[in-house]
A and B are shown apart, each in its own frame.
Chain A
Amino acid sequence: MRNVGIVGIGYTPVFVSKRKDVNISEMISEAVEAAFSNTGLGPKDIDAVVFGNMHTFEGVNLPHLWAADYIASLGKPLMRIATGGTTGMSAFHAGYYHIASGLHDVVMVVTYEKQSEGDSQVGLMGIITPEVMAMIAAGIDVTGGSGMGAIGGGSAGGISFQASSYLHHSGAGIEHIDEQAALERRNAAKNPYAHLKDPDATAEKVAQTPLVSWPIRFGHICPTSDGATVAILASEKAAARITEKAAWVHAVANCASDATTANLIESQITDPAEHLPAIIASRQAYERAGIADPKKEIDYVEIYNGFAHQALMYLEKIGMCEVGEAHKLQEAGELEMSGRMPVNASGGVVSTNAIGTSAMNRVTECALQILGQAGEHQVEKDVHKAVAHGWGGMMQYVTITVLGDKPKKD
């Protein structure tokens, strides 16, 4: 396997609720132009393009083909990846495979979502329908109206069991979820590419938002955003021509459990927060990256947290701390930008969620921290190695990427 580096990143100028001023392809092209501008590269330098977004969220099928001439892909290999919330990182992994395999040298990964267009419910039909079928197979009365249907309909319904179980097993309280949401919205205020920003966010303010499904409040939940993210990846030889400093992929891994809602009703697992895929994928990634103790060797973490408690829960699942320790690290200020284990300095998914980009941005944000290019949300400590986590699929799929400041040694 060849080493692969991230040599360029491009974001749309903003991530907001509604980009009314441009159409889908035009919006995507802004991120492509930014990546070219940041690297000095152009369409002729790109060997192949990988594209990712949520299945039919804009009511548009085959968006990579609609946008083909806006993403410098004409006459080039082009493929689309869609794995749910994890899409952005799955697309990144596909770009990595293209180069690690020796097939291509410079690959552009394009991800986007323009959720203000179309009806997310239409897009969710692609998820609800199989999920409803999984629910029927799991003995759930989907015709029963209140609540039962809500489990599959949106992740907010199912996720409340995960949050409830996380609190039960960790000893954390709902106030820690409130604080995590506040912490990340404060971080978001320092990130020009974040959506929901609140420099004065506090746990008390979050606690005033209404309960949706205990212990999940409105203030714990991500927004829907419009935006696009592009990463340009290169082999070691090509990277040397393009840039002096790249963020290097040290490992990728992914894992799924069975096709029910988020470990909720698997026949093997009765704990909806057990989330074995996160444990398996992260341990595989650390092994591939040659990391013996992630707590000591990893400097920065980006967690895919569509819901605020997930930053805490997944820190424990991916081995960045012990079970029951994440909320104590939060209390000690260690998860802040100035802390010993900064997490989601970007503001996380809970602040910005253009879904196709969301798992990709976990990787690009880790890369920016390694490159020292995160600007106002650059963390205080030096970042040599970072881990990015993606969560999605039918809520039971996890992707992991480990990055380093030097190419990985054999």
Chain B
Amino acid sequence: MGAPEETYFTPVVPMDFTYNYRVGPYITRYLDGFKDKKILGSRCPGCGLVAVPPRKYCGVCNKVMEEMVEVGQEGTLENFTVGHVTIEKGRLAPAEAPYVLGLVKLEEATSALLARVGGIAPSEVRTGMKVKAVWKDEAAGDYDDLDHFEPV
């Protein structure tokens, strides 16, 4: 007896789901700051940690962070990867060119911010490099106002 013939059903369910994720007051303040090309964080009254973007709780101290602080536009590249693929609508595709995503620890911040790194060849990027924020000309209070970081 050979392998049984494969029988399966492919149900197509015509439904469309929309999620409306409310960002909350902390991210709202963060994006408001973008309109003035400022980067805001929140400071923990317990340990002094400065989280960028701002968040409500310090998980270490279990304290509410009420104080908002502006942090510097320059920082250190803590870590990076070089992307060779992209995901478009759930499908992998080769990237047009290798691109760099980095974790940037801004001056006065204790956290790292994920951002594109540009203005440098991927092969030249090194952990520990000093980088600075590059903004779009017209800031509208959206995430992509902060376009990328480039070497100082």
Contacts and interface: CB of A to CB of B under 8 A. Distances in A.
Interface of A: 20-21, 121, 129, 132-133, 136-151, 153-154, 157, 160-161, 164-165, 168, 210-216, 258, 264-268, 270-272
Contacts of B81: 160-161, 164, 213-216
Contacts of B103: 161, 264-265, 270, 272
A364 B88 CA distance: 38
Nearest to A151: B114
Interface of B: 3-4, 6, 8, 19, 21, 23-24, 27, 30, 49, 51-53, 55, 58-60, 78-88, 90, 95, 98-99, 101, 103, 105, 110-114, 116, 122, 127, 142-144
A153 B87 contact: yes
Contacts of A147: 83, 86, 95, 99, 101, 116
Interface core residue of B49, B87, B113 (most chain A CB under 10 Å) = B87
21 contacts: A133-B21, A139-B30, A139-B113, A144-B143, A146-B83, A147-B83, A148-B116, A153-B87, A157-B87, A161-B79, A168-B79, A213-B83, A213-B84, A213-B85, A214-B82, A214-B84, A266-B59, A267-B111, A268-B49, A270-B112, A272-B79
Contacts of B111: 265-268, 270
B9 to A, nearest CB: 11
B106 to A, nearest CB: 11
B84 A212 contact: yes
Contact of A141 (B95, B105, B144): B144
B79 A165 contact: yes
Contacts of B59: 258, 266-268
A139 B30 CA distance: 8
A78 B114 CA distance: 42
A128 B124 CA distance: 32
Contacts of A258: 59
Contact of B85 (A132, A150, A151, A271): A150
Contacts of B8: 20
Given A20-B3, A143-B144, 13 more contacts: A137-B23, A139-B27, A139-B113, A140-B143, A141-B142, A147-B95, A148-B114, A161-B101, A212-B84, A213-B84, A216-B81, A265-B113, A266-B111
A140 B114 contact: yes
Q: 10 closest pairs, A vs B, by CB? A: A267-B51, A141-B143, A214-B82, A160-B81, A139-B53, A146-B86, A270-B112, A267-B111, A150-B87, A147-B83
